[in-house]
Structure 1
Amino acid sequence: MTRFPPLWRVIFGLSLLCVALQGADLTESLAYQRANIADGELWRLLTGNLMHTNGWHLLMNLAGLWVVTYIHRMHYRARGLLLLLLMLCLMQGIGLYLWVPSLLGYVGLSGALHGLFVFGALSDIGRGWRSGWLLLIGVSAKVISEQTLGASNEVTALIGARVATEAHLIGLISGIVLFVLFRGYGYWSNKI
């Protein structure tokens, strides 16, 4: 019997957590809501990433999580990936709170997924793989397009809410920042 690798246990566990939270209908208690965060409910900075508007939104984000992790699986160990995802989600919430005051509510993993994708692309580049440049240019072009033209009407209709394209930009920036920090730490400690 083949062992289920630790990296995939992390992704499977996060997927189950998102499904369980969605099924328990905890959106009101856990979603990113600016007013509640201002009143001291700081957990929403992190947990808003785990909630979704509907089943389609959840399915799209979890599929993205599995695909992005698969593409860059060679760059991650289970604990490192878990730490990276936690930091991306937290930076996502903090970034939205500090730099997008007009955004009153947010749910979804897509901002953190953009950060994970960028981190993986930069890791590819760090290994000298040209494909990393293509991935980085592609995701940057997508995010720039969303900032200027907005998200697709089809995705907006499917998730039943406005796509928070600002979250994608913050995710992209967070992925770059965390790549620099992780690599700097890895250089000095030889552990990453």
Structure 2
Amino acid sequence: MNWRPSPWLSVATVSVLCIVLQWADTIDLMEYQRQFIADGQWWRLLTGNLIHTNLWHLLMNLAGFWVVVFIHRVHYGNRHLAWLLLALCLTEGLGLWFAFPALSAYVGLSGVLHGLFAYGALNDIKIGWRSGYLLLVGVIAKVVWEQVMGGNAEVTQLIGARVATEAHLVGLLSGIGIFLLISGYCRIKQPAA
């Protein structure tokens, strides 16, 4: 396993950005709103992930973000994590746009967190950590459960909005897809021994 620089600058930057956007009350300008995206406001595909319904929603997502990165920190440097987060935000927005046309609005980092978690678990498996299998099966089971049973009622009440379980599914699939693309690219680029 190669040494990588710490990912914490990227984590802190995204956290501060989310806090500033929340404090500046930019939800009307940046939330994922299908009608406005259709009118050409494409930035909402990305920025909807950085906006939250209220302080509890923000704090829960940021706490989850720090924990997920901490669990898989050996896999990330700052630049790698920044690019991964950008890719996850983009695939989250595009996935919701194409796969869930009935979803008119979405905010929050939780879909991206599901992708980041799956991506990290797959990297654990790649380097031979058996715990990665448990983490991957766990996040898949959680997302499947949510697709069947719906979101957690207590969380819905706390964040003041329906838990967008569609975003969790898109995030999970995005994390797995990005991992497979990067792994395939690295295999192609690696010189034959």
TM range (shorter): over 0.9
1:90-124: CA deviations, max 9, x gaps? 10000001010111000000000000000000001
The equivalent residue for 1:120 is 120
Matched residue, 1:58: 58
Q: CA RMSD in A?
A: 1.0
Is 1:105 matched up with 2:105?
Answer: yes
Whole-angstrom CA distance in 2 between matches of 1:91 and 1:181: 13
Match of 1:74 in 2: 74
In structure 1, the residue matched to 2:156 is 156
Q: TM-score, normalised by structure 1?
A: 0.95
Shift of 1:166: 0.3
| C-alpha distance in structure 1 between counterparts of 2:137 and 2:6, whole Å | 30
Q: Deviations over 1:3-47 (max 9, x none)?
A: xx6510110010000000000000000000000000000000000
In structure 1, give the amino acid aligned to 2:32.
Y
What amino acid sits opposite 1:105 in the alignment?
A
* 8 Å Cα contact 2:6-2:73 kept in structure 1: no
Aligned partner of 1:10: which letter? Answer: S
Structure 2 distance, partners of 1:16, 1:50, is 10
Task: Summarize the alignment of residues 1-192 of structure 1 with structure 2, pairs less than 5 Å apart.
Answer: 6-189=6-189
Q: How far did residue 187 of structure 1 move?
A: 2.8
- Mapped to 2, the partners of 1:56 and 1:182 lie a distance apart of 34
Letter in 2 for 1:156: T
- TM-score norm. by structure 2 comes to 0.94
CA deviation profile, 1:152-187 (whole Å, cap 9, x unmatched)? 110000000000000000000000100011112223
Once residues 107 and 23 of structure 1 are traced to their aligned partners in structure 2, the CA distance between those partners, rounded to angstroms, is 15
Structure 1 position 188, deviation (Å) = 3.5
SS of the residue corresponding to residue 42 of structure 2 reads coil
Aligned length: 186
Measured after TM superposition, the shift of residue 128 of structure 1 is 1.4
Aligned equivalents of 2:136, 2:74: Cα separation in 1:
17
Structure 2: runs of 5+ lacking an equivalent: none
Structure 1 CA distance, aligned partners of 2:117 and 2:186?
19
1:147 to partner: Cα distance: 0.2
**Structure 1 unpaired stretches of 5+:** none
Q: What residue identity is the alignment partner of 1:76? A: Y
Letter in structure 1 aligned against 2:185: Y
Q: Read off the aligned partner of 1:48 and give its amino acid letter.
A: G
Hey, what's the Cα distance between the residues in 1 that align with 2:124 and 2:13? Answer: 26
